[in-house]
A and B are shown apart, each in its own frame.
Chain A
Amino acid sequence: MSTEEVRLFIGPQHPGVTGNMSIEVLLKGDTITWAKTHIGYLHRAFEKLMERRIFIKSFPLVCRICVPESDTNEENLARGLEELADIEIPERAKWIRTLVLELSRLQMFIMWYGGIAGSMGLSTPVQWGIGDRDYILDLFEELTGGRVYHIYILPGGVRKDLPEGFEERVLKTMDLIERRLPEYDELIMDNAVEQKRLKGLAPIPKEWVEEMGITGPVARACGFPYDVRKNSPYEAYDKLDFDVITEDGCDVWSMLLVRRREIDLSIKLIREIVSKMPKGEFLTRLPNVLYWEIPKGETYVKSEATRGEFGYYIFTDGSGKPRRVHVKGPSFIHGITLLERLLVGQNIADVAPILVALQICPPEMER
């Protein structure tokens, strides 16, 4: 048998790759000796388009940056613009935003929890995850009118107040999801094959976390207690009571554990938000948003997405349009810097679980 290396393109049309990206690998037997991420299959020029639009028109655009979790983008942009225009938003709006962000995080994590099993050929939790996520999408539909793209968070607050009885329905859905979770655990956590596959898979050296700027559940799985919600609180997170979840394994199994505990945390936070929800206004009066000019300035706002720290750098020059908006998605670091190094030495079969574990969302890499 020849020991020549085989060059293999995984993606962009590959069922194991989480989106429109491609990974070029060199294989020696079953082991990857070199890997390179190719992006550009999904470039939609979000940043450039935003420069040509008035501020309010950017909101339907930014929620497309990561499809399953659109609210983080809206909230980031809204908060950045509020900071630049020096607008104070009502207390209730902050709490509603926090509720929407947590619901969005929860549905993403539930889908992910099934997806990690799906990446290894167990499709049952995938179907369950998509099914249970739908209950949260139902809540979103009632609240915002949209299931996936909400365009709900605007500068100055949120677009609509909570409907009557919405809080009770949120709590009911949380009870339902909490009842379902033990079934997932039994199928995913207590599964001998799954444990064998994921325990000790693709350990990340701890020094990489600071070198590369790894954030989110991946960093927390390496024992770094970094959570934007706690470290630099935004919206109403400073009034919520929670601890940063960390694990010490650095491997895919620890990332799974972190995310599993994040689901519990999200449910707890949603209950807390609902119980503490203040009364009052939900939207401040803004100037006419069609002719809204924001004074010259620049800012960097960040928030915790399910994948890591999601940042927006906004630069305005006093006109009605932003001069420059730069979107920093966590997938850019995880999917290119980290993935290319992490895949070296791994088995070809582990590419799919690693991709899912890093939760790479290709549209974030090419804005």
Chain B
Amino acid sequence: MEWVIAVAVKVIVIFTWALLTVLYITLLERKESAVIQDRIGANRASILGLRLNGFFQPYADALKMFFKEDYTPPFVDKPFYYLAPLVSIVFALIPVGAVPVADSIGLFGRKFPLSVIGSNVGVVLILSLLSLAVYGVIFGGYGSRNKYGVLGGMRGTAQAISYEVAIGLSLVGVLMVFPSLDLNEIVHLQNRYILGGWVPLWGIFLQPLAAVLFLIAGMAENKRVPFDIPEGESEIIGYFLEYSGMKFGMFFVADFVEILLLAALFTTFFLGGYNLPWLFTEGFHFPWGGSLAMSPIIVRIVQFVTFNIKLWIMIWFLLLVRWTYPRYRFDQLMDLGWKSLVPLSIFNILITAAVMVVIR
């Protein structure tokens, strides 16, 4: 019974954290674009006259979405039309649950992972759920019964399917260096040090090419500029063309959840996850010989904060790209995926294998 309550508390806390992060990603996007474009950005929303330079803006946005008229056009294919936003947001949120935000703790005599899904095949789970998220795009485009929507849905599908190949292949390199499918274990393996204990053995140092490929393919999977072809607003408006109110809001939130997911996965695979350099389960062990003992709970809190800092740096970078690049054309995007990213990731696997054989 206590176990069930503990798990329920964990699920609620982690998903609340995820959704709050998503809310503030929208604010960061607004503010970052404002700074880049010489504007001030949203700063009018207030609670009791307190503005805090737009701190409450995400809540105002969310409320607006909820209270907007939810108009369903008469010609749509109802089952698909209603299912699409749901599929999008659910399959974007569940993989977030597989990412460990801190090391697992012992609770009631059992190992209690600090991620919603403490699965030992987390990588496979995330990849499979990511492919399911494509159905949101297909259903949305097809169910809208709109030519622009169908075009967007088709493009989105083709794009997501081709870039999943690149994502999967770039992760193979990572899995070869960190031989585990458990995300927590992968993070653990990144808490080793080389060069006299000075340099952490993070994924980005072991697999730099895979990191770049994963980031590019992930952005494409995410359907954001420069890969926002399914929703290019100046050409075909997108698969969510016929949606309004909170149904559109769900697509919108799903987009930002995917940013969070991509940033979290990149952090986990390549930036050492929740690891702060030289912080181990029982405290710091510095390479110059000093050490600092800490209680396990404090260590978990420090890990959680570290994870968040790395996450926000990644999110900042992902948002930056949007305001500095125009979008590719569809055929150019496919060329980039199949002719550059896939061959490069296969090359990366070969190089990794060769180096591993030589070292062994």
Which residues of A are in contact with B by a Cβ distance under 8 Å?
6, 8, 14-16, 30, 117-124, 127-128, 131, 187, 191, 193-194, 196-197, 347-352
> Which residues on A sit within 8 Å (CB–CB) of B331?
30, 347
Cβ-defined contact, B36 with A121, below 8 A? no
Residue of A nearest to B228 (CB): A121
- A121-B225, A127-B37 are contacts. A191–B325 as well, Cβ < 8 Å? yes
B312-343 residues with Cβ-Cβ distance < 8 A to A are: 323-332
Identify which of residues 199-253 in chain B touch chain A, using a CB-to-CB cut-off of 8 Å.
225-226, 228-229, 232-237
Asked if A127 and B326 make an inter-chain contact with CB atoms under 8 angstroms apart, the answer reads no
**What's the Cα separation between A242 and B353 when bound, in Å?**
63
Interface assignment of B64: CB less than 8 Å from any CB of chain A: no
Closest to A10 in B: B235
Partner of B325, one of A6, A122, A127, A131: A122
What are 7 A-B pairs at a CB distance below 8 A?
Answer: A16-B235, A122-B325, A128-B38, A191-B325, A194-B326, A347-B329, A348-B236
Q: Which residue in chain A gives the minimum CB-CB distance to B151?
A: A348
Taking A121-B326, A121-B327 as given, write out 20 further A-B residue pairs in contact, using a Cβ cutoff of 8 Å, ordered by the A residue number: A8-B147, A8-B148, A30-B330, A119-B234, A120-B327, A121-B233, A124-B36, A124-B37, A127-B37, A127-B38, A131-B38, A187-B324, A191-B324, A193-B226, A193-B328, A194-B326, A196-B328, A349-B330, A350-B329, A352-B234
B30 to chain A, nearest CB (A): 13
Give CA–CA (A117, B326) in the complex, Å: 7
Query: Whole-angstrom distance between the alpha carbons of A117 and B324 in the complex?
Result: 10
Q: Report whether B232 and A121 are in contact in the complex, using a CB–CB cutoff of 8 Å.
A: yes
Q: Are A193 and B233 in contact (CB under 8 A)?
A: no
- Nearest CB to that of A17 among chain B residues? B234
A15 lies within 8 A of B237 (CB): yes
Q: How far is the CA of A264 from the CA of B212 in the complex (A)?
A: 38
**8 Å CB interface, B138-183 against A:** 147-148, 151
Q: Which residues of A contact B225 (CB under 8 A)?
A: 121-122
In the complex, the answer to whether A120 meets B330 with C-beta atoms within 8 Å is: no
Which B residues are in CB contact (< 8 Å) with A15? 233-234, 237
> How far apart sit A268 and B180, CA to CA, in the bound complex (Å)?
65
Verify if B39 is at the interface (C-beta below 8 Å from A).
Answer: yes
Interchain CA distance A347-B328 in the complex, whole Å: 12
Interface residues of B in 108-159 (CB under 8 A from A): 147-148, 151
Complex CA distance for A348 and B147, rounded to whole angstroms: 13
Residue of B nearest to A132 (CB): B38
The answer to whether A351 touches B324, judged by C-beta atoms less than 8 angstroms apart, is: no
Cβ-closest chain B residue relative to A13: B237
Across the interface, which residues of A come within 8 angstroms of B236, CB to CB? 348-349
- In the assembled complex, the Cα of A119 lies from the Cα of B327 at a distance in Å of 9
With both chains docked as a complex, state the minimum distance between the C-beta of A135 and any C-beta of chain B, in angstroms. Answer: 12
Q: Is the CB of A127 within 8 A of B147?
A: no
B240 to chain A, nearest CB (A): 14
A351 to chain B, nearest CB (A): 7
Closest residue on chain B to residue A192 by CB atoms: B325
Which residues of chain B (46-63) have a CB below 8 Å from chain A?
A: none
Residue among B33, B233, B331 having the largest count of chain A Cβ atoms under 10 Å = B233
Instruction: Provide the residues of chain B in CB contact with A6, threshold 8 Å.
Output: 147
* A6 and B325 alpha carbons, distance in the complex (Å): 30
- The answer to whether B325 touches A128, judged by C-beta atoms less than 8 angstroms apart, is no
6 A-B pairs closest in CB distance? A120-B326, A16-B234, A127-B37, A122-B326, A121-B327, A352-B234
Contacts of A348 in B (CB 8 A): 151, 235-236
List the A side residues contacting B148 at CB < 8 Å: 8
Residues of B with C-beta under 8 A to A124: 33, 36-37, 323-324
Most chain A beta carbons < 10 A, residue from B233, B329, B331:
B329
- Interface pair A196/B332, CB less than 8 Å apart: yes
Q: CA A193 – CA B327 in complex, angstroms?
A: 7
CB-contact partner of A118 in B38, B39, B234, B332, under 8 A = B234
**In whole Å, how far is A202's beta carbon from the nearest beta carbon of chain B?**
12
Against A, the Cβ 8 Å flags (1 = close, 0 = not) of B28-43 are: 0000010011110000
In angstroms, how far is the closest chain B Cβ from the Cβ of A260?
16
In the docked arrangement, what's the CA distance between A248 and B155, Å?
34
Give every chain A residue within 8 A of B229 (Cβ-Cβ): 349
User: Which of these, B38, B151, B325, B330, contacts A193 with CB under 8 Å?
Assistant: B325
What's the nearest-Cβ distance from chain B to residue A122, in Å? Answer: 4
**Is the Cβ of B235 less than 8 Å from the Cβ of A123?**
no
- Flag if A197 contacts B332 (CB, 8 Å): yes
Q: Are A127 and B39 in contact (CB under 8 A)?
A: yes
Residues of B within 8 A of A127 (CB): 37-39
CA distance A67 to B36 in the complex (A): 28
- Please indicate the chain A residues that have their CB under 8 angstroms from the CB of B228 in the complex: 121
Are B332 and A351 interface neighbours, CB within 8 A?
no
